[in-house]
Amino acid sequence: LIATLIQIESCGNAQAVSGAGAQGLFQVVPSNFAAGENPFDPETNAHTALTLFGQALAGANGDIGLAFAAYNGGPSIFTMSPREWPKETQTYQYWGSGITDDAERNLSSSPSLQEWLDAGGSDLCNSAHQALGLP
């Protein structure tokens, strides 16, 4: 779960910032941090993000797909039909669930991850590689 969250949020770039202002490895919205916390510190970002994901998982009664949707779209999605979720949340739930399911099935390669990469995830990873100074 943690690896999937990092993958689809930042592709491992602890300095990532989204167009909506989410920050760090797990792309946490700044309002979720306490005053003085550094959202780009991996440990701080992970602690905040995993607390939020844990709350989403609890609210989803252990349903991983629903927890991914709530992590992306907020807890209000619990009161909505999936058809009413924003398109971004529907897509996020699809990728998160698929990649996690492939990992849980111990596949040697992940068709869902490859589909995510082909659908634009590779752009995020290329940006992360450049930002991190990787070859």
All residues at 6 or more sequence positions from 92 whose CB lies less than 8 Å from its CB, including other chains: 8, 68, 69, 71, 72, 73
Question: Please, are residues 25 and 128 in contact by the beta-carbon 8 Å criterion?
Answer: no
Question: Is-catalytic flag, 9?
Answer: yes
Selecting among 9, 88, 104, 115, the annotated active-site residue is 9
Phi, psi angles (nearest 5°) of residue 64: -60, -45
Residue from 31, 26, 32 nearest 13 by CA: 26
Structure tokens at 57: 């998982």
Structure tokens at 15: 């300095």
> Which residues are annotated as catalytic?
9
